[in-house]
């Protein structure tokens, strides 16, 4: 009987030839993102403002003035708020202004001349609330599931002529940015 001894070098060479080496590769995964503020639901607002006579406005072309009988409260109501710590309400755009920068212009076809709308902050505060100019922003903090931005509208005469009969209407988009 004969015995054959393999040298260790030969043994390693035979194993290396008979074994398949697996190929390897690697890949890096990078994930990036952010957490945005939550949101709320909001509904459109539509209000009819009481009619007033042209005689309630200043009867001097260069004067301005409001019609107290037209004071009308309204609100922008946010509901279903989740993950919100506040919001900024942008009230229309500068293009919504009349010739008087703090008055929303009358957009009615054949509308009453020299008229527009004052929008003011606060319910029942058309006489004392801060006037909101077209394009202005109002920022509020809140953490509740609902929030109401209370506002008031009223007719106003702008300088330049006398008010005569005719319709008044305006519309503007309120852009709400949540935090």
What is the number of other CB atoms lying within 10 angstroms of the CB of residue 133?
19
Tell me, what's the pLDDT at 38? 86
- pLDDT the model gives residue 127: 72
Question: Per residue in 39-76, pLDDT tens?
Answer: 899 999 999 999 999 999 999 999 999 999 999 999 99
Cβ(137)–Cβ(94) below 8 Å = no
Give the integer Cα–Cα distance in Å for 147 and 34. 25
The least confident of 25-29, 86-90, 123-127, 138-142 is: 123-127
Output the pLDDT for position 33.
Answer: 79
Inform me whether the pLDDT recorded for 32 exceeds 70.
Answer: yes
95-122: pLDDT as tens digits: 999 999 999 999 999 999 999 999 999 8
What was the pLDDT predicted at 135? 97
Query: Taking the domains of the chain in order of start, what are their residue ranges?
Result: 71-178
pLDDT digits (tens, 9 = 90+) for 117-157: 999 998 766 777 899 999 999 999 999 999 999 999 999 99
Q: Residue 110 region, left (φ>0) first, then alpha (ψ -120 to 50), else beta?
A: left
User: pLDDT value at position 28?
Assistant: 80
Whole-model pTM: value is 0.79
- DSSP 8-state secondary structure symbol assigned to residue 97: B
Residue 18's pLDDT is 56
CATH 3.40.640.10 fits domain 71-178: no
At residue 22 the predicted structure's pLDDT band, cuts being 50, 70 and 90, is confident
């Amino acid at each position: 009987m004969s015995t054959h001894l393999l040298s260790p070098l030969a043994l390693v060479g035979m194993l290396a030839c008979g074994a398949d080496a697996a190929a390897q590769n690697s890949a890096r995964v990078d994930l990036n993102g952010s957490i945005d503020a939550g949101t709320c639901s909001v509904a459109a607002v539509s209000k009819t403002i009481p009619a007033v006579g042209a005689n309630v406005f200043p009867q001097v072309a260069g004067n301005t003035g409001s019609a107290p009988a037209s004071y009308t409260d309204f609100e922008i109501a946010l509901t279903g708020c989740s993950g919100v710590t506040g919001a900024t309400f942008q009230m229309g755009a500068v293009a919504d202004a009349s010739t008087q920068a703090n008055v929303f212009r009358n957009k009615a076809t054949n509308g009453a001349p020299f008229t527009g709308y004052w929008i003011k902050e606060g319910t029942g505060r058309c006489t004392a609330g801060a006037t909101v100019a077209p394009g202005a922003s109002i920022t509020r903090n809140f953490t509740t599931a609902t929030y109401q931005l209370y506002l008031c509208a009223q007719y106003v005469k702008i300088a330049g002529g006398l008010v005569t009969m005719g319709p008044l209407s305006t519309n503007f988009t309120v852009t709400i940015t949540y935090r």
